[in-house]
Amino acid sequence: MFPKVGIIYLTYPTPEWQQDIDRCLTSLASISYPKDRIELICVESKGKLPPVKPWFDQCWMPKSGRELPRITYLLKDEWIGFSGNNNLGFEKVKDLGCEYVYLLNEDTEIDADFLTRAVERAQADPKIAYVQSLILLGSNKNLVNTVGNAYHFLGFGYSNGYLWTRERAERFFVEERKRNPDLEIGYFSGAGVLGRVSIISECGLFDEKFFSYHEDTDATLQARVRGYKIVVEPRSVIYHYYEFVKTQLKKNYWVERNRFVLLFSYARWWTWLLLLPMIVVMELALLVFAIAGDWWGEKWKVYREWTNPKFWQWVLQRRRAIQRARVIGDRELFKFAVGSIEFQGEGVRNPILTFIGNPLMRVYWRIARQLIV
């Protein structure tokens, strides 16, 4: 018997929404997993553009339960962000009695066997919380978007393997299995990942106060701290129409604010003391980049947030809950953390990072991780 799976597909009104939705749902019609064991949950919340639902009702709802799995369309008349949309969809997934949930980005296309392979991997090990698919680029299907995201010990994250060829990714998986047989990863990409509903119900999916950015890192660590595994399955393949661009100014606030929330929430105090010198060095460097890059205002918003008692009330409440729930130490929790930022995007690659920052951080992390307990 195939376990029942809910696919959460966000239909947010982006500039390219019609092209993206047509492409993704057309590909879903060819899925090999039994359609009667799938619930397709489409979730839309209010955006700056007119709503998608009227068009969707006309073009795609007639195919519900026929060419496509049965579709449920949820429309929220307020802006609740990526986290809120997925949480809304997850509640419906639970109501429909699904054993697994798959998060699928709007701007994706699927390989017919993507869900079958991901479910097979999860079924093989009850300790697996999430199975990320191998995510390739839609614009060039021989190039990688991510083989599993990398989590940096200072809270940064990036797509590991970005712009590798598929052949290089396959060689990577062969070598990686020798030291990491389960292919556990730093954190999953929310663009294409299968989750076990029972474990997510225990850990929670996304903290909506993250709103956007690092919510997938937090969901990964919430599961890992409880002793569960987060893995990548190379046979499960989707294509993401993704292009790296330098982070827009309005996004830097969420990126910076949320990476500190992660550090404040998970690291034990001894780990914090070990990391503090490098945290300070990195923060000073980022201040220089913020001023030079004209996003100082966003950095200042993060510091202002630190003066808000409600922010600390939320963070400390999170921290207490996480520390109570954890069953592993920080050495195990940060086992897959990396010491350098190797993302190939032009917005990150620069000589200072390459020749000074990364070598310094690698040496520091090599020493610090031996002292973490």
Question: What is the model's pLDDT at position 81?
Answer: 87
Please report the pLDDT score of residue 70 as a whole number: 98
Contact, 259 vs 214, CB < 8 A? yes
Domains of the chain with bracketed CATH:
5-240 (3.90.550.60), 249-371 (no CATH)
> Which of 111-120, 157-166, 269-278, 335-344 shows the lowest mean pLDDT across its residues?
335-344
Contact 345/162 with Cβ under 8 angstroms?
A: yes
Going by pLDDT thresholds of 50, 70 and 90, the confidence category of residue 250 is low
Using a 10 angstrom Cβ sphere, with 0-12 exposed, 13-18 middle and 19 or more buried, the burial of residue 132 is buried
pLDDT for position 346: 53
Considering the chain, what is the average pLDDT of its residues?
A: 94
pLDDT in tens, 325-371: 999 999 999 999 999 998 655 555 678 888 999 999 999 999 999 99
- Taking residue 326's Cβ as centre, other Cβ atoms within 10 Å add up to 19
Read off the pLDDT of each residue in 45-70 and give the average, rounded to a whole number.
96
Strand, helix or coil for residue 40: strand
d(CA 354, CA 348): 10
Distance in angstroms (rounded) separating the CA atoms of residues 329 and 319: 15
pLDDT digits (tens, 9 = 90+) for 198-240: 999 999 999 999 988 899 999 999 999 999 999 999 999 999 9
The CB-based long-range contact list for 259-262 (8 Å cut-off, 24+ gap) reads 259/154, 259/155, 259/156, 259/157, 259/214, 260/155, 260/302, 261/210, 261/214, 261/218, 261/315, 261/318, 262/155, 262/214, 262/217, 262/218, 262/221
Alpha helices in the chain (DSSP H): 17-28, 53-59, 81-95, 114-123, 166-179, 197-203, 215-224, 249-266, 269-292, 296-305, 309-325, 330-333, 351-352, 358-371
Burial group, residue 346, by CB count within 10 angstroms (0-12, 13-18, 19+): exposed
**Is the confidence at residue 244, as pLDDT, over 80?**
no
Residue 21: the pLDDT is 98
Average pLDDT over residues 308-326: 97
What is the C-alpha separation between 90 and 259, in angstroms, rounded? 24
The Cα 240–Cα 191 span in angstroms is: 7
- Tell me the longest C-alpha to C-alpha distance in the chain: 60
The predicted-structure confidence for 159-202, as pLDDT tens digits, reads as follows 999 999 999 999 999 999 999 999 999 999 999 999 999 999 99
Which value, to the nearest 10 degrees, does the dihedral of the CA atoms of residues 78, 80, 82, 88 take? -90
pTM to 2 decimals? 0.95
Q: Per residue, what are the HEC states of 224-242? A: HCCCCEEEEEEEEEEEECC
Q: Which is more confidently placed, 244 or 37?
A: 37
Q: What is the pLDDT of residue 246?
A: 45
Say what the pLDDT of residue 211 is: 83
CA 71 to chain centroid: 24
Residue 353's pLDDT is what? 87
pLDDT on residue 314:
97
Query: Is 247's pLDDT higher than 60?
Result: no
- The whole-number pLDDT of residue 144 equals 97
CB-based contact 146:50 (threshold 8 Å): no
Task: Look at residues 180, 181, 69, 205 and name the one whose alpha carbon lies nearest to residue 130.
Answer: 205
User: What local confidence, expressed as pLDDT, does residue 293 receive?
Assistant: 85
| Pairing mode of beta strands 5-10, 100-104 | parallel
